[in-house]
Every structure is written in structure tokens, then in C-alpha cells.
Structure 1
Amino acid sequence: MLPWIQLDSTIIPGEGGELRLKQRGNEFSIMLGSNELMNSRLSGSEEALATLSYERIKDHKRPKVLIGGLGMGFTLRAALAVLPADAEVVVAELVPAVVAWARGPMADVFKGCLDDPRVLIHQGDVGETIRLARADFDAILLDVDNGPEGLTRKSNDRLYDFNGLRASRNALHPGGILAVWSSSPDPSFTRRLRDAGFSPDAVNIRANGKRGGARHVIWLAVKQLA
């Protein structure tokens, strides 16, 4: 078996954690310490984050979508595949190196999606983007951690507490959806979504889609009318 080769590393701004990009043949991995955050061979649940969300907003005109975390681009590519030509997709990515990796060593994985005219890359904290928004988005897709807790950055906890969820609700159009990817279930998060004014549904998804893999969870939380 081919050995893993580390291509690059970078420090997450403000937190001090180190992200490492590794390659083995045509396979890529992004690591945080001993945790593998993403792998180029496993994309099914990240793609479902986009496609299942779009099903809930497909009647919205000129939809505007916020994606938290660029990752390996699987959610972005899946969103672009289903969104109409007049859609707008804002990708908030905190770590500049992740965007550089997308345009450099992982260009074949991204397949040019960053050059789609519907895409705007915003270098910054998705939480801040959400807090500044007022009914700006039809969908907010969050895949910045391994679930509703701050794994990559402890400050990401603010995305998933009651105040953070209320901020997401305020950032959405009526009938908009907040979608959150997780590597495992969390019933308390479902309750917190409901308390924050969402109608949540936790969907079990395989890591590699129809080909199986680990079981992941996607929360699809529709903004309830006040």
C-alpha cells in the first residue's frame, strides 16, 4: 500500500490547531491532530447536505445559499449541480490555506467549481457572516466541525448554542433551512433547534452514499414562522 505523504500544514486562525493535508496516490486527507476531518474518497453525506437542503427550498426564487466550510468542495459541487443558474452561493472559509489547496494540489477534486460565476468565496468566520445577516439566505449549510460542537475551533460552539441558532434563524428568509452535518447523533441538539424556532428533522446518511460507509447525521431545520 502506498504511504501517506504530508503535502502541507497550516494553523487555524485564532485557535492554534494545526490542519495537515496528506496524499496517498489519488486520495487526499485533511487531518486535525489524530482526527481525520475529511477524505476525498468519502463524499456521500457531504453531498447530501446540499441536495437534501435544496429539496426544501426548490420553490424559492433566485436562492442564496451560505456554506460554512469549503472542505474538499463536495457540498459546494453538489449544491451547484442542483441550484438554478440565477442562484448565489457564498462559501465562508476561515483558513486561507484550504482555498489554496483547492486551487493547487486538490484541483482535480474540485473540478473547477470555485470558478463557477454563482460562487463567492468569503475568507472569514461563518459565524460572523451569520450574525451580520438579516433574512439574507434561503439556506445555511454548516460542515465546519464533526457535529454540533466546536472540534476544529472551540469558538465554533457559538454556532450551535441557543443564541447561535437564533442568529441563523434571523439570517434566513421565511421558510429557509439550516442544515448541519454531524458524524454522530445528538438528541439534545434536536431539542435546541426546536427551542430556537426551527422545525428540525435528523436524517441518517451513509458516509459514501449508496455504497455504504459510516453512518452520519444531517439536521434539516426549517425556519418556523414567528
Structure 2
Amino acid sequence: MHVSYEPNDPTESTAAPLVLDRRTGPHGEVVLRRHGELLQIIANGVFLMDTSDGRSERLLVDAARDALPRDRARPSVLIGGLGVGFSLVHAAADERWARIDVVERERAIIEWHQNGPLYDISGKALADRRTRIIEADLLAYVHDRNERYDALCLDIDNGPDWTVTEGNHSLYSPQGLAACARMLNSGGVLAIWSAQPSGDFEESLRNAGFSNVRTEEIPVVRGVPDVVHLAIRAA
């Protein structure tokens, strides 16, 4: 997720954003709009992300893959949050991933990718035989399913300390982190995108039994770097 964007981006128009679709679902209002060359997703009036720069999403996937054991030749990955599709597209471009599951709770976002304006970004990745889109709330999916993965790449909030919805806090709680660990194979990687580093969350990961906890920075044009929190499920 992204909480802001650069107003001086050369790809952006000075004209008012054009609303392409507006839906009301179980979690509130979701809007897709075009602003110049950018497509933007707004949820309950909060700017979430746009198509201006996918560095964060790419690093989220690559950092998780690179942290896996060397003998994990054909790993599986769960991507939490479809967003504008950058994480999915980047994962699908890498033949090393054997299975790519994407959990997205907003039906509108899924449809914008399947047959709407975001199809141009993700259409090829959606058609990839390794890809499966799962319409579900990530928190429920992590707690209720018996699926196992080598990597969990989660990007549903602006970080552990800045969630999009109140209920998402439970994902970063001891119970939520324990559920993530159960979903990982031995030596699997948990990667969580955040708009800012959190020393407290690093400590929470260690207390939950994860090892090799670290935070990798992602440079941005202005302000504090984005980060990816990384942790390994112990054998």
C-alpha cells in the first residue's frame, strides 16, 4: 500500500482525477480513478496506491525469494493484496515461482484486473497457469486455511503501525504472526511491506519465534524510505 503520491510526478495531469468506477462493498467504498497517466485506488476516501512506481512491490517479492534456503528450487508464494497488480506481475515474470496465490478481499479490485482498466497491467500474469486469485479476507485466510507456502508477501496496510482498517491490527499481533508461521513451510519467509520501519514490530517477530529478522529499505523520491520487514520461520 501507499499512503501518498508525488503531486509533481510528470505523468500526472493537473486536471481533476476522473472516477472510472465506484463500488460499495462489505468493507466500505472502493474507487478506481484516472489522474493523467496514473490509475489510483481509493478506499473509504483514503489514497491507497497508484501505478506510478512498482519498486516497493517488486522488492517485496524479490526480498522474500532471495531469503529462502538455497535448496528451495521451486517455491510457492502467497501475495496478500492484489492492489494495482505489480507484485503479481513481478512474481509471474520469475519462472522460479512454482505457485502464485493472491488473496484479495475486494471483488471490485479483482474485476478491475480481470476485465477492467487494470487488465493491461496484469492480464498476462492472471493467465499464467501458476496464478490463482482467491477472493477472501487475508486475516480469515491465514487463520482458517491449511495451505502451506514458502513465502508470504503481505501488502494490505501501510505497515504494522498504520493499518487500513481497524481489524487488520490482529494480523500483526502474536496470534496473527503465529498463524502466518503455521502457514509457512520450514525455512519459509514472511515479508511485510511498510511505509516506515518499526523496531517494535521487529521485536514482535522475534517474540513470535521468527529468526533472521531484518528490515530492508526502499528509497523513495521524497521523505522516509519505504521498508520490507523480513523474517524466517525456524526449522
State the TM-score, normalizing by the size of structure 2: 0.86
Match for 1:185: what amino acid? Answer: P
8 A Cα contact 1:47 1:75, kept in partner: yes
Q: Deviations over 1:152-210 (max 9, x none)?
A: 22211111111100110111001000000011111111100010011211111124xxx
Change (3 A) 1:219 1:12: farther
Question: Across the two proteins, how many residue pairs are aligned to each other?
Answer: 218
- Give the match for residue 96 of structure 2: 84
In the aligned structure 2, how far is the partner of 1:133 from the partner of 1:192? 23
- Give the match for residue 109 of structure 1: 121
- Give the match for residue 133 of structure 2: 121
8 A Cα contact 2:30 2:108, kept in partner: no
Structure 2: where are the runs of 5+ without partners? 1-13
Residue 62 of structure 1 and its aligned partner are, at CA, apart by 3.0
Q: Percent identity?
A: 34
Matches of residues 7-22 of structure 1 in structure 2 within 5 Å? 7-13=20-26, 15=27, 17-22=28-33
Residue 134 of structure 1 and its aligned partner are, at CA, apart by 4.6
8 A Cα contact 1:134 1:172, kept in partner: no
Change (3 A) 1:36 1:98: same
- Give the match for residue 110 of structure 2: 99
Residue 12 of structure 1 and its aligned partner are, at CA, apart by 4.6
8 A Cα contact 2:113 2:123, kept in partner: no
State the TM-score, normalizing by the size of structure 1: 0.89
Q: What is the SS of the residue equivalent to 1:82?
A: coil
Change (3 A) 1:34 1:8: same
Structure 1: where are the runs of 5+ without partners? none
2:46 is the counterpart of 1:39: no
In the aligned structure 2, how far is the partner of 1:135 from the partner of 1:19? 29
2:67 is the counterpart of 1:56: yes
In the aligned structure 2, how far is the partner of 1:134 from the partner of 1:107? 30
Change (3 A) 1:2 1:76: same
